Amino acid sequence: MTAQQTQGLNCPNCGGIVAVPEGVRIVQCPFCDQRSLLQGEQGVRRWQTPRKIGREAAVNSATGFFSGLDKALDLKRKARIREVFGVYLPYWRVSSFVSGWLFGRVKSGDDDTKPAEAEIAEEMHWNDAAVDVSEFGVQQVSINDKDLVPFDSDRLHSEAMVFDPTESRTEALAEAEAHFRDRCRRQSKFKTTYSEKLHLLRTRLSLVYYPLWAVRYEYHNRRYQVVVDGVSGRVLYGKAPGNVLFRAAALIAGMAVGNLILVNGTVLAILLMSDDDELALLAVPFIVGAGLALAGYRAFRYGGQVEKTQKGPKRAAPAAVEDVIDQLRELMG
């Protein structure tokens, strides 16, 4: 393979290795003479975001993560940094101008809806990891167009570990389109959507290599990791041992306050209710009280290890209390 040739591909006919010269779209197998048209990553623009945060600043951000009532009280004092290294992870980035209309119904009054339409004309962006990031826990990052510079493989490899993309560009485009459509539905705030006509214009797919710092530390002979944004210095992902006292207090407070609202609130609702708002008054203290008790139990049950993760993309909100009450009324006739 010459200096102008990239990594070879497998021939779809005989399975032999076919050398792929740079810039060539049609190649011929040297074993069976099968010709193949190349389509894939060749047309994807590659960018990189320069690292702005150094090793020392990344360690300072990680040690700041050690503070907090929900974490072990002596974590900041007894944690020992064992390893700090930088990585560049690839992220698919899709930009598109979304234009179109949605038709549905919005709430009007207490129990009524009315037809409505929503116009969409907005530039939207989406990004997602192009490689398995289970080790680092950072599925999405904040990419600023002003920070992007052309991809320089030699420079990046000299600075840190660089991961190559393993996820399909076709899947990335499909996920981006689904995200844009879901975002339009959420913006419309329709109670019911009947039809939609959306167009994605000037869609651009690119691959961005983003800098991260991985800080690994030890506490009581156990290993944990904190991942720091290489541009902003924020902690994007981290694990830490939990605080036993905080867990116990959360359980007691959640159960006490939850049961107080559940019992006393239900009694008060019975005293105040009328035929029209019977279910409404009974549902509110039950939902609030049970929710607080469940939150206290979860804090105790899963608080042995604190995990900071990114907030996923916003999804449609769950049914409001009024919707739950409407469903109960329908079931009870």
Q: What is the pLDDT of residues 166-205, one digit of tens each?
A: 888 889 999 999 999 999 988 888 888 888 899 999 999 9
The domain boundary, picked from 200, 215, 239, lies at: 239
| Residues 6+ away with beta carbon under 8 Å from 99 | 120, 121, 198, 199, 201
CA distance 80 to 84: 12
CA distance 199 to 178: 12
Least reliable range by pLDDT among 33-47, 236-250, 273-287: 273-287
Average pLDDT in the 42-51 region? 83
Report whether pLDDT(95) > 80. yes
CA distance 110 to 194: 21
Coil vs helix vs strand at 175 = helix
Average pLDDT in the 115-132 region? 92
Categorize the per-residue pLDDT at 275 as very low, low, confident or very high, splitting at 50, 70 and 90: low
121 and 148 within one domain: yes
66 and 211 within one domain: yes
80 and 185 within one domain: yes
Categorize the per-residue pLDDT at 8 as very low, low, confident or very high, splitting at 50, 70 and 90: low
Report whether pLDDT(232) > 60. yes
Average pLDDT in the 223-231 region? 95
260 and 206 within one domain: no
166 and 88 within one domain: yes
122 and 221 within one domain: yes
CA distance 152 to 49: 10
284 and 176 within one domain: no
Average pLDDT, the chain: 82
Average pLDDT in the 97-111 region? 84
Which pLDDT value is given to residue 120?
92
115 and 62 within one domain: yes
Least reliable range by pLDDT among 5-9, 48-52, 96-100, 251-255: 5-9
Report whether pLDDT(136) > 90. yes
Report whether pLDDT(325) > 70. no
Pairing between strand 161-162 and 80-108?
Answer: parallel
**Residue 137 burial (C-beta neighbours within 10 Å; 0-12, 13-18, 19+):** middle
For residue 57, how many other CB atoms are within 10 A of its CB? Answer: 14
Bridge partners, residue 224, by sequence: 217
Domain span at residue 293 reads: 245-332
Categorize the per-residue pLDDT at 98 as very low, low, confident or very high, splitting at 50, 70 and 90: very high
Consecutive H or E run containing 299: helix 278-301
Q: Which of 26-35, 38-47, 114-123, 269-278 has the highest mean pLDDT?
A: 114-123
Average pLDDT in the 214-222 region? 94
Which pLDDT value is given to residue 38?
65
Q: Is 272 left (phi over 0), alpha (psi -120 to 50) or beta?
A: alpha
For residue 34, how many other CB atoms are within 10 A of its CB? Answer: 15
The domain boundary, picked from 239, 270, 287, lies at: 239
225 and 295 within one domain: no
Categorize the per-residue pLDDT at 283 as very low, low, confident or very high, splitting at 50, 70 and 90: confident
Which pLDDT value is given to residue 303?
65
249 and 169 within one domain: no
Report whether pLDDT(313) > 70. no
The values of phi and psi at residue 29, to 5°, are -70, 130
Average pLDDT in the 119-123 region? 93
Which pLDDT value is given to residue 263?
80
Categorize the per-residue pLDDT at 273 as very low, low, confident or very high, splitting at 50, 70 and 90: low
Which pLDDT value is given to residue 203?
92
What Å distances lie between residue 40 and 37, 150, 182, 222, 295, CA to CA? 10, 19, 27, 43, 47
264 and 218 within one domain: no
Average pLDDT in the 303-330 region? 53
The domain boundary, picked from 198, 222, 239, lies at: 239
Which pLDDT value is given to residue 143?
92
What share of the chain in percent tops pLDDT 70? 82
**Residue 273 burial (C-beta neighbours within 10 Å; 0-12, 13-18, 19+):** middle
CA distance 304 to 250: 13
29 and 53 within one domain: no
**What total of structural domains would you count in the chain?**
3
Which pLDDT value is given to residue 52?
94
